[in-house]
Amino acid sequence: MKKKIYLLAIIGIILDQTTKLLITSLLKLNEVVNVINGFFSITYVRNTGAAWGMFSNNTLLLSIISILFLIFFIKYIEELSKVSFFYEIAFGLIVGGIVGNLIDRLFRGYVIDFFRFIILDYNYPIFNIADTLIVIGVIILIINFVRDDLIEKRK
C-alpha cells in the first residue's frame, strides 16, 4: 500500500521536473506561447511566492512550510495500516506535488510555473504540474473524508 503511494509520488515528481526542464530549455523567461487564444497559454515565469502572489520573495518560509507538510504527510502515511485506493492516490499526488515544488525552491530559489488560463476575463495564477497534483490530491482527499463521514453517519 505505501509502495503505491510513494511510486505515484515519484511519477508525479518526474513528470513535474521533466515539464519544467522542457519549459526552461524551450522558452525564454516570460515568453508566451498561445495554445488557445484568449484562454490558455504556456507562459514561463519564475515564482518566488505562492498562488496569487502571496508570500512573494519568501522562498525560505515556503520551503519550511513545504518541509513541515511533507513530514506530516509522510508520518501519517507511515502510521497507516490500510487505506482505500483513492486515499493512496490522494496521498501520492500531494506528496509528489509538494516535493516537485520543494525541489525548485531548494535548488533554484523559485518555482517554475507555466500553465496560464484566462476564464471569463479572469487571469488565473500561472501554475505547474506540482500545483496540479496538490490540488487534485486535496480534492480527492476531501471527497473521501466527506464520503467516509456520510457512510459513518448512516451506521
93 pLDDT above the threshold of 80: yes
Average pLDDT over residues 92-102: 97
Cell 511510486 identifies what position?
Answer: 7
Asked whether the predicted pLDDT for residue 81 surpasses 80, the reply is: no
Question: Percentage of the chain surpassing pLDDT 70?
Answer: 99
**Residue closest to 112 by CA, chosen among 96, 97, 127, 98:** 127
Q: What is the number of other CB atoms lying within 10 angstroms of the CB of residue 58?
A: 15
Q: Which three cell numbers stand for residue 15?
A: 513528470
pLDDT in tens, 18-77: 999 999 999 999 999 999 999 999 999 999 998 877 888 889 999 999 999 999 999 988
Residue with cell 525548485: 104
Catalytic residues: 113, 131
- Degrees, nearest 5: CA angle 74-93-49: 90
Please report, as a single letter, which amino acid is at residue 13: I
Cα 18 to Cα 100: distance, rounded to the nearest angstrom: 10
Please state the length of the chain: 155
- Asked if pLDDT for residue 128 goes beyond 90, the answer is yes
